[in-house]
């Protein structure tokens, strides 16, 4: 088969702690990451030529060499030149459902899908860890997006320790369409304002170990949705919320509407709330739209899932 359609789920962070600076210039992080059912669809089809071609149905997504999905294809061609010569390039069609610039790993999950799809089309037989290693060269979230589910992420986000799958939790996701946040800006600004609190390099390993026994990890391991909600944490809220009053108001409104809890995901500006059921999530969705009747505000209901990139059934 020379064509595949893949489902590329978004991710949220239940927990994001910035520990300190790394020697490579990135931040040392401790995160608990979770895949959700809001997903893009990536179609790959062999095109019989030596040029990758990319299209996307979202006008704000670049359809050129700057797109991370295109970079993923180029990386595969560089790493596996014989397969590239044998099977040729592919056409990549991105059907965008994950909002753009949202802190939900939309670009990273698309890139992960291209890695998985080319492995299939080119009959490489790569293992998941091998695909994750390639993904780490593209971005810190790509390795997680390959496997998905629930995981502790350390390092700059690429070192993963899977956690047991959660029973599905319902999630309300909200984002102002016109707002976006640069991840680089968020981390740089955090360093400028809070760098004096960082753990020194020689203390990073100890901090990494302690997150494994943290309250959030225990809540996840016990499959306790209420405890997960109680321990939601994101250091980047300290930077993004003061800079974007709309997001701060959105988070406050969702926290008021949800009986469990709400938080910004990643570097934002998406905000999510946990719900007790699908009916509860749909009620929160409707009440949020009524409380903040702005046509620029998009709201989705999703649920946590135990997988990353999957073939479309």
Residues annotated as catalytic are 11, 141
Q: Are 54 and 63 in contact (CB under 8 A)?
A: yes
Q: Are 230 and 219 in contact (CB under 8 A)?
A: yes
Cα dihedral: 208, 209, 211, 212 (round 10): 130
Q: Are 244 and 296 in contact (CB under 8 A)?
A: no
- Copy the structure tokens of residue 132: 């994750």
- Copy the structure tokens of residue 285: 């969705």
What is the length of the chain? 313
Plot region of 26 (φ>0 → left; ψ -120 to 50 → alpha; else → beta)? beta
Nearest to 77 by CA among 113, 114, 30: 114
Q: What is the spatial distance between Cα 219 and Cα 21, in angstroms, rounded to a whole number? A: 28
Q: What is the spatial distance between Cα 231 and Cα 219, in angstroms, rounded to a whole number? A: 8
Q: What is the spatial distance between Cα 254 and Cα 262, in angstroms, rounded to a whole number? A: 6
CA angle (246 as vertex; 245, 249 as ends), nearest 5: 85
Residue 42 bridge partners (DSSP): 6, 94
- Which residue reads 């901090």 in tokens? 207
- Copy the structure tokens of residue 304: 């946590």
Q: Are 225 and 260 in contact (CB under 8 A)?
A: yes
- Copy the structure tokens of residue 299: 């709201």
């Amino acid at each position: 088969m020379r064509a595949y359609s893949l489902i590329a789920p978004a991710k949220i962070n239940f927990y994001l702690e910035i520990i300190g600076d790394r020697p490579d210039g990135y931040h040392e992080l401790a995160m608990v990451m979770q895949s959700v059912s809001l997903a893009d669809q990536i179609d790959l089809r062999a095109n019989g030529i030596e040029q990758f071609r990319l299209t996307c149905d979202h006008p704000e997504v670049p359809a050129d060499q700057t797109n991370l999905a295109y970079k993923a294809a180029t990386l595969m061609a560089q790493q596996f030149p014989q397969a590239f010569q044998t099977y040729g390039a592919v056409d990549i069609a991105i059907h965008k459902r994950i909002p753009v610039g949202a802190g939900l790993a939309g670009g990273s999950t698309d890139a992960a899908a291209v890695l998985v799809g080319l492995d299939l089309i080119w009959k490489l037989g790569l293992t998941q860890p091998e695909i994750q290693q390639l993904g780490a060269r593209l971005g810190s979230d790509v390795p997680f997006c390959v496997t998905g589910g629930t995981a502790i992420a350390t390092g700059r986000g690429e070192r993963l320790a899977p956690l047991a799958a959660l029973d599905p939790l319902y999630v309300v996701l909200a984002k102002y369409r016109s707002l976006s946040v640069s991840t680089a800006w968020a981390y740089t600004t955090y360093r400028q304002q809070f760098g004096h609190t960082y753990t020194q390099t020689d203390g990073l390993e100890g901090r990494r170990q302690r997150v494994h026994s943290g309250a959030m990890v225990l809540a996840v391991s016990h499959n306790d949705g209420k405890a997960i909600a109680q321990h939601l944490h994101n250091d980047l809220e300290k930077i993004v919320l003061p800079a974007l009053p709309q997001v701060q108001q959105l988070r406050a409104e969702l926290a008021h509407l949800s009986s469990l809890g709400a938080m910004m995901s990643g570097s934002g500006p998406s905000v999510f709330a946990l719900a007790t059921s699908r009916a509860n999530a749909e009620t929160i969705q409707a009440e949020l739209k009524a409380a903040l009747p702005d046509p620029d505000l998009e709201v989705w209901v999703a649920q946590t899932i135990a997988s990353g990139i999957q073939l479309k059934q």
